[in-house]
């Protein structure tokens, strides 16, 4: 790590510490510089301004969040992995409430791009559910429902703990949302099972295209399957 990158990291750590201690969830660039022992011109050189520092702080938070997600065990049961991912999301929020609020309820002019990575990671796990024939709706729609609920519960617990007092709230919402998106393969040949079979086949084709189908045929088949899944 270069001297400049180390200094940058120290300033981000000081900013996060100040953010966590501030009743108004704000930071002072002067206080950050004083905590690290540098002048404000150093901050302006590294981050541009206060908005740049906050934006970098959000990116720093997402870097740790994504590395934490990548470190979670991938098992043979994607539903277990989904539960673990939900619970770990809540744990991250409760461990770092100030940075979590900044990450997932930002007021910055420039929005971070990392949430797209988080969404794609969740979608990949849901595609494993689809490949097993256990997804009721397409993976991207399931990811939208699950991630928005996960973030909503986390923010509710942080912002209004006086209202959201049920210690089992997270698990109950998790199980309710999962039940709407995921189930065991149904034995009957019609209705819901038909859609779930289409979702399963589409997921399998995306993972391993059929060599005998041309690109145009593959796209057309996936379009039909996605329509059935919807």
Lowest mean pLDDT among 6-20, 122-136, 188-202, 213-227: 188-202
Distance (Å) of CA 196 to CA 127, 135, 204, 224 = 12, 6, 12, 13
Is the predicted pLDDT of residue 226 greater than 90, yes or no? no
pLDDT tens-digit readout, 157-179: 999 999 999 999 999 999 999 99
99 has pLDDT over 90: yes
Q: Which two tokens mark 191?
A: 């209705």
Q: Sorting pLDDT into bands at 50, 70 and 90, what band is 91?
A: very high
- Confidence at residue 146, expressed as pLDDT on a 0 to 100 scale: 97
Both structure tokens of 84: 């673990």
pLDDT digits (tens, 9 = 90+) for 107-154: 777 788 899 999 999 999 999 998 888 888 899 999 999 999 999 999
Closest CA to 90 of 154, 24, 1, 157: 154
**Which of the four pLDDT bands, split at 50, 70 and 90, describes residue 224?**
confident
The pTM for the full model equals 0.79
């Amino acid at each position: 790590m270069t001297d400049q990158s180390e200094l940058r990291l120290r300033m981000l750590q000081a900013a996060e510490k100040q953010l966590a201690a501030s009743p108004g969830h704000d930071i002072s660039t002067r206080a950050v510089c004083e905590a690290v022992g540098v002048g404000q011109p150093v901050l302006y050189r590294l981050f541009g301004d206060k908005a740049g520092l906050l934006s970098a702080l959000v990116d720093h938070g997402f870097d740790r969040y994504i590395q934490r997600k990548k470190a979670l065990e991938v098992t043979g049961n994607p539903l277990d992995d989904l539960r673990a991912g939900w619970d770990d999301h809540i744990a991250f929020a409760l461990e770092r409430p100030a940075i979590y609020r900044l990450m997932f309820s930002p007021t910055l002019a420039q929005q971070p791009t990392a949430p797209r990575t988080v969404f794609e990671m969740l979608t990949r796990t849901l595609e494993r559910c689809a490949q097993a024939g256990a997804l009721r709706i397409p993976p991207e729609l399931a990811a939208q429902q699950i991630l928005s609920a996960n973030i909503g519960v986390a923010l509710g617990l942080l912002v209004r703990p006086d209202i959201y007092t049920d210690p089992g709230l997270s698990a109950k919402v998790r199980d309710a949302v999962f039940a709407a998106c995921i189930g065991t393969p149904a034995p009957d040949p019609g209705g819901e099972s038909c859609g779930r079979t289409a979702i399963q086949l589409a997921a399998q084709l995306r993972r391993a295209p059929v060599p005998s189908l041309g690109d145009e045929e593959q796209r057309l088949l996936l379009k039909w399957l996605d329509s059935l899944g919807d």
